[in-house]
Amino acid sequence: MRLDLSRARDRMVDLHIVRRGIDDPRVVEAMRIVPREAFVDPGFEEFAYEDAPLAIGEGQTISQPYIVALMIAEAEIEAGDTVLEVGTGSGYAAAVLSRVAGHVYTVERHAPLANGASQRFARLGYDNIDVRIGDGTKGWPEAGPFDAILVAAGSTSVPQALKEQLDLGGHMVIPIGPAGEQRLLKVTRVNATTFEEHDLGGVRFVPLIGEHARRDEPSQPARSIPRPPSRTLPEMVADVAEPLPDLDDPAFGRLFDRFGNRRVVLLGESSHGTSEFYRARAAITRRLIEEHGFTILAVEADWPDAAAVDRYVRHRPHRRGSNAPFQRFPTWMWRNREVMSFVDWMREYNDSVAEQDRAGFYGLDIYNMRESIAAVLDYLDKVDPAAATVARERYGCLTPWQNDPSTYGRAVLTASYNKCEEAVVRQCRELLERSLEATDSDGDQLFDAAQNARLISAAEQYYRTMYYAGADSWNLRDRHMFETLEHLLESRGSGSKAIVWAHNSHIGDARHTEMGAARDELNIGQLCRERFGEQAALIGFGTHGGKVAAASAWDGEIKMKEIQPSLPGSYERVFHDSDVDRFLLDFSRDDALRRRLDEPKLERFIGVIYRPETERMSHYLHASLPHQFDAFVWFDLTTPVAPLMPEHVRPGMPETFPFGL
């Protein structure tokens, strides 16, 4: 299954270029035309449409698309203009420039990069670009003067030679300042000796290394540097954040009364192994059930396993012969003490209300997903262990944020993997049919004949995509989860209200993350907003550090892993710097803060797998948090869930412990 990169490019341009205010139609069009994937190293094409710099060898980077577009737009280039670029790198920016200008001269000091760029231009048929190997701080005197000059590396001052080669009225865009404090400057030549400077904001570039890039020509102070805002972002967060009471204090749940009138309240988590997230969701859910008439708790779990818990909490008879639920990897996700005590509360609560008002516990995930994955792995372990290894890797990346190139590299489909497909899909289908036959009609609305037929007819598709993993299976899975939620709401009557517990990646509107923008992935949060509008509340959860229960690979052992402190430049780091330990941030409370938080930043996603060694690539992606969620719950320091271990099952306890089915 190949990614459709032209679509990913369009989405990247919409999210990172247009939405961030670049409106010059010629620049936007050029960004849509130039295939960025042709400018990254082989194997990295998949990452070409993340709005991030990427390594291109020689210790250099291909610039972030937004910055490329910003520099070209600010240079005010007209068709037919002659432009100089210093720092060819991969050639991407020069290629975009060449679609806007008449002719582009570009200089690169590293010969392998300059040669690589020339070859790319030739392959793409871009014949209005000249490349030179050399020191770009000297410019390209024979080809000047230039209508515009773009410098793609940071200098401590504006090189004199470049100033001299800028035509009257021309613009130069150049990063200036020491590492960590670079500002992007727009320098306009007003007359032979006067240059006006305008500050375009903070940037981070590799250094400009050359004869004219020294400190001996101090630049003019900028004329129109915007004044720094009076309050920092973390200070603004601290002002608006509502500190959270103790998790056991009834005041905790009361804080969320504002969402009590919604049809669906979706509660996320930024890892599948954090105690505070489970306990907070339990406290909120309890309040919504007790005080606001919610009767559906739908969780990111397999339907049959959740159905066993549902029978327990709604005092329905135990289905004979059924296995204890949640026996498959990752067992700790639902077999943990936090869930156990909430389930016990649900059972007790349901005892006090009429049968039709009892709150149910339902699984949204593809029917038997985890059991099917286990069946795939069992089968491959027997017939082709090498293919089984590939399959484990792929299940490890069943998450859209798991974009570690080395993982993808290892998980390339092999011929033998392909050969097993039919057999595996057949086996999964049989498994589904067997388990549906075994389902007795105990009144579960979802399992009427029509629902069974729906599952069977979709099964083939489910298992085939599950076999391959990747973006398509993600979409299929989230659509299925959303449809199950709709069926549940229908089955519980017109005024029914539901709470969803699922990972942030499922419940935060995917359109405002790289998942949606660059990879065309959707999710339950997005589908709920499209269907329920203001009647849906999307609430994300996050943390800065502490420990988390997670495995290193699919099917791996649970470990209590140290969470790395959040990265600078991430939302998590902004929240950590607010110095408020635990809070609710309701984005509707303050427009100014919301606007300041809008600009996409990194956001961390830990699933059942956590790989701190490759954290940036494996667990972070860009998102616009206030668009993704309606509110965010923050715990600066978190602890792992307490999994139920075999030793918790004391002799004489029923097989079905902990849910006493």
Catalytic residues: 63
By CB under 6 A, tell whether 403 contacts ligand SAM. no
The C-alpha atoms of residue 591 and residue 454 are separated, in whole angstroms, by 45
Identify the residue among 92, 252, 329, 462 touching ligand SAM (CB under 6 A).
92
By CB under 6 A, tell whether 526 contacts ligand SAM. no
Sketch the per residue contact string, 177 through 206, with ligand SAM: x for CB under 6 A, - otherwise: ----------------------------xx
Q: Which is nearer to ligand SAM, 89 or 325 (CB)?
A: 89
Cα distance between the two ends of the chain: 42
Pairing, β 195-202 against β 183-189:
antiparallel
Which pair of tokens denotes residue 534? 């203001």
Q: Read off φ and ψ for residue 548, nearest 5 degrees.
A: -140, 145
Sketch the per residue contact string, 326 through 345, with ligand SAM: x for CB under 6 A, - otherwise: --------------------
Rg for the chain, CA atoms, rounded: 28
Q: At what angle do helices 449-468 and 415-438 cross, to 10 degrees?
A: 160
By CB under 6 A, tell whether 600 contacts ligand SAM. no
Q: How far is the CB of 250 from ligand SAM (least distance, A)?
A: 55
The C-alpha atoms of residue 79 and residue 77 are separated, in whole angstroms, by 7
Q: Which stretch binds ligand SAM (CB under 6 A): 101-109, 327-335, 599-607, 626-634?
A: 101-109
Which pair of tokens denotes residue 325? 């639920």
Binding residues with ligand SAM: total (CB under 6 A): 25
Per the DSSP assignment, residues forming a β-bridge with 362 are 298
By CB under 6 A, tell whether 174 contacts ligand SAM. no
Q: Which is nearer to ligand SAM, 101 or 296 (CB)?
A: 101
Residue nearest to ligand SAM (CB): 87
Beta-carbon-side half-sphere exposure of residue 212 (alpha carbons within 13 Å): 16
By CB under 6 A, tell whether 210 contacts ligand SAM. yes
CB atoms within 10 A of CB 202: 12
Per the DSSP assignment, residues forming a β-bridge with 198 are 186
Q: Which stretch binds ligand SAM (CB under 6 A): 107-115, 352-360, 497-505, 508-516?
A: 107-115
By CB under 6 A, tell whether 148 contacts ligand SAM. no
By CB under 6 A, tell whether 607 contacts ligand SAM. no
**Coil, strand or helix at 291:** helix
Identify the residue among 74, 81, 135, 603 touching ligand SAM (CB under 6 A).
135
207: cis peptide before it, omega within 30°? no
By CB under 6 A, tell whether 12 contacts ligand SAM. no
Cβ atoms of 420 and 447 closer than 8 Å: no
Q: Which is nearer to ligand SAM, 173 or 301 (CB)?
A: 173
Cβ atoms of 609 and 396 closer than 8 Å: yes
Q: Which is nearer to ligand SAM, 108 or 305 (CB)?
A: 108
Which pair of tokens denotes residue 297? 């708790």
Q: What share of the chain is helix, strand, coil (3-state, %, to 5)?
A: 45, 20, 35
Identify the residue among 104, 113, 131, 236 touching ligand SAM (CB under 6 A).
113
By CB under 6 A, tell whether 634 contacts ligand SAM. no
Identify the residue among 98, 118, 137, 526 touching ligand SAM (CB under 6 A).
137
Identify the residue among 46, 61, 544, 631 touching ligand SAM (CB under 6 A).
61
Cβ atoms of 369 and 302 closer than 8 Å: yes
By CB under 6 A, tell whether 175 contacts ligand SAM. no
Q: Which stretch binds ligand SAM (CB under 6 A): 61-69, 240-248, 357-365, 544-552?
A: 61-69
By CB under 6 A, tell whether 51 contacts ligand SAM. no
By CB under 6 A, tell whether 270 contacts ligand SAM. no
Environment class of 599 (CB within 10 Å of its CB; exposed 0-12, middle 13-18, buried 19+): middle
Q: Read off φ and ψ for residue 393, nearest 5 degrees.
A: -60, -45
Identify the residue among 45, 48, 52, 60 touching ligand SAM (CB under 6 A).
60
Cβ atoms of 238 and 579 closer than 8 Å: yes
Binding to ligand SAM in span 433-462, by CB under 6 A: none
By CB under 6 A, tell whether 86 contacts ligand SAM. yes
The C-alpha atoms of residue 100 and residue 83 are separated, in whole angstroms, by 10
Q: List CB contacts of 168: < 8 A, sequence separation 6 or more.
A: 189, 190, 191, 192
By CB under 6 A, tell whether 107 contacts ligand SAM. yes
Identify the residue among 5, 62, 538, 593 touching ligand SAM (CB under 6 A).
62
Q: Read off φ and ψ for residue 172, nearest 5 degrees.
A: -115, 135
Q: How far is the CB of 401 from ligand SAM (least distance, A)?
A: 25
Q: How far is the CB of 131 from ligand SAM (least distance, A)?
A: 11
**Contact residues for ligand SAM, defined by CB under 6 A:** 60-63, 86-87, 89-90, 92-93, 107-110, 113, 135-137, 152-153, 205-206, 208-210
